[in-house]
Structure 1
């Protein structure tokens, strides 16, 4: 990263304000603040999975945030005020930074409200709700979840689509993943490290320049390919591109609005790199459906039962159900972050489709220049032209050469205009 010595006065002001945002948000760790510890899981299993987990407001109060919420909100408010003072009300990069400050303040308000109804309401403001429509009259995320479930049920009985057995240990998965990422990011440079960890809930998790793989998890080759694309090419790639920004350093950090873009990009990449598969898609649709059920009033036991009915083990059902209620209470409103996957996928897909239709292909790779937010894309294009933002250094092959993606979207644009119901009737005697 540049040290800012060769910047002009305007660039230095932007860089200084940007650095203040990066520093201010450092102690805010959303997932750490909302997770339930091992004793809650053990207690639930010990009670025969029949009693709500013992999580209430007092549970979170006994686990302080690790920073002073009031002081942190004030700090972000002061940065926001300084952005307006130094850059003016309508400066494009100032508008992005101000929105980030507002968002981080809202995140703090959400974390301060852990274990209360406000937690779920603020979560809906930040990440959306399952009952949100994409456009007037369009299906909602909850509708999409049900629709995908129906499609998946239709292909579920087929033996040839069953997952390969998970025969790779974490150690083997680490070696394979490291090798694949070295091919993309450059071997020997140690740009991305892959290692085992026993302190994570998911099978794998990405950091700034590393991917942790859970020590006791088992994998198959398809899982490793999906991790390479999802965690490596998208999550770590965009972080590295953000850290590579000499002026707009805030692009290395992602507030909730960028989570939707990030996860949407990651799922889209899985689809176009042909690394996604039905059981993985079912995991996303089940999470979306579970969040919708909780929004409609279902409690932890009902969500747990839903996952059991979907064929998950007790352990997996607990893990999936606790994702829905973490930060909240077991009979409260859900934490809606897991809507980001399908919601982001739809939004990003539509964005790329329109960019192709309007001939604005140069906008598409800019999604990777850091932790971007979809609504900022037009401004980012401007900032690249002004030299405030540098184009992404690390890009997945599918976005480096847009030929195939553009061709696919051209066909896709046309196919969207055909009536599938009409086609189904016409094809009835050949399918």
Structure 2
């Protein structure tokens, strides 16, 4: 390595350290969270048909100093943006955190909407490689699920695994995969979501029962993507920020996690319906629906009182509940899934399966995998230490992608039943 190259890498390492220090006080979901006591009281009210708009107050963080530092990092990293992917990665990452800081400084107002859309997209965004939008995809999956509804009821999915039992089962499995004690599994009575994952801890909502589908999804989605990429990010010798999910990589990270559910058989049509309903609900809120109207939307489509409340809550985190505003994060689950699935198929078609491994080397966006590939190849960035079980078998993955690429060319509107029966 030449002296100038070593100097450039040290400069990027210094900027990366400054970036992590600047964002230490930026906690997006924490800043928009609702008190658990309010949730419990309102869920009880809604269960007894006592409908009223929630009265939620937020504490706006003071992030002016962080924003100024992030803007400085953008400028300093941007000087090499056109010639070096590392500088471009740092510039884009600092920019996304700066936008997030601006969003949180507006928490409780409609001012959250625009920056949240800038970070997470919106329902009307066009799907890459298609003329259809995320909203079109959401409607498709909801309609398909509804058409299959009668058959799905026969599956008799039981939600009968106590949180403590699931905690013990997950801990045993993860100890066997990552090593004893690398990831702790804990119960948390204050958790809004049913589960949440960090690099070394997975939390389950205490007092909640889970299904076998939940168990498989927690492993495929939370442990083998969110925790795994965070742990691999901690192994990076140059960019420690790859261990933390920046706002600009959220769509890829969540899309990759849902894609992992798909590839490992841990997803069902009901799950696709749930994430699709959230996109429809964001669109409703943006177009003026209030919290009660969005709650009723979820409830009328088969969700229970508690799930409907939490689903509506996700849409209105950090924004007024009177309509016309939304927190757009839940747009990323379906849009990210579609983008990641397309990326995997593209990598297979281009015979670049090697690129797919880099997706797990830290918290990366799809564009980062392409731009940073030379730095993985020369060892500046470390290849992933851990890979999900379904990624370890290249031939099996290639087989699934080959089938997917080919079958995509079949137009279902042209399929005639007689032709099917004549072909077998």
TM-score by length of 2: 0.92
1:116, 1:332 within 8 Å by CA — same for their partners in 2? no
Give the match for residue 3 of structure 1: none
Q: Residues 14-163 of structure 1: matches in 2 within 5 Å?
A: 14-41=12-39, 42=41, 45-46=44-45, 48-55=49-56, 59-60=57-58, 63-65=59-61, 68-84=62-78, 90-135=83-128, 138-158=131-151, 161-163=154-156
CA 1:302/1:427 → structure 2, altered by over 3 Å: closer, same or farther?
A: farther
Give the match for residue 309 of structure 2: 318
Write the distance in 2 (CA, Å) between the matches of 1:266 and 1:163: 25
Give the match for residue 259 of structure 1: 250
Give the match for residue 171 of structure 1: 164
Give the match for residue 390 of structure 1: 382
Write the distance in 2 (CA, Å) between the matches of 1:251 and 1:80: 17
Query: CA offset at residue 185 of structure 1?
Result: 1.4
- How many residue pairs were aligned? 415
Write the distance in 1 (CA, Å) between the matches of 2:121 and 2:152: 37
Query: CA offset at residue 18 of structure 1?
Result: 1.1
CA 1:418/1:206 → structure 2, altered by over 3 Å: closer, same or farther?
A: same
1:44, 1:53 within 8 Å by CA — same for their partners in 2? no
Query: CA offset at residue 118 of structure 1?
Result: 2.2
Write the distance in 2 (CA, Å) between the matches of 1:319 and 1:252: 28
Say yes or no: does 1:234 pair with 2:235: no
Query: CA offset at residue 89 of structure 1?
Result: 5.5
> SS of 2:209's equivalent?
coil
Write the distance in 2 (CA, Å) between the matches of 1:261 and 1:161: 34
2:287, 2:324 within 8 Å by CA — same for their partners in 1? no
2:60, 2:104 within 8 Å by CA — same for their partners in 1? no
State the Cα deviation string for residues 306-359 of structure 1 (Å, max 9, x = none). Answer: 111012222221111011011111123111101111111100000010110011
Say yes or no: does 1:408 pair with 2:397: no
CA 1:192/1:317 → structure 2, altered by over 3 Å: closer, same or farther?
A: same
Say yes or no: does 1:204 pair with 2:195: yes
Unaligned runs of 5+ in 2: none
> SS of 2:222's equivalent?
helix
1:286 is aligned, of 262, 273, 277, to 277
> SS of 1:158's equivalent?
helix
Write the distance in 2 (CA, Å) between the matches of 1:138 and 1:286: 21
Write the distance in 1 (CA, Å) between the matches of 2:137 and 2:394: 28
Query: CA offset at residue 412 of structure 1?
Result: 1.5
CA 1:154/1:383 → structure 2, altered by over 3 Å: closer, same or farther?
A: same
Query: CA offset at residue 246 of structure 1?
Result: 0.9
CA 1:14/1:120 → structure 2, altered by over 3 Å: closer, same or farther?
A: same
2:367 is aligned, of 371, 375, 378, to 375
> SS of 2:207's equivalent?
coil
Stretch of structure 1 that moved more, 73-82 or 34-43: 34-43
1:325, 1:334 within 8 Å by CA — same for their partners in 2? yes
CA 1:404/1:43 → structure 2, altered by over 3 Å: closer, same or farther?
A: closer
Say yes or no: does 1:223 pair with 2:214: yes
2:255, 2:337 within 8 Å by CA — same for their partners in 1? yes
State the Cα deviation string for residues 228-278 of structure 1 (Å, max 9, x = none). Answer: 111000000000010110111111111222111111111111111011123
Unaligned runs of 5+ in 1: 1-6
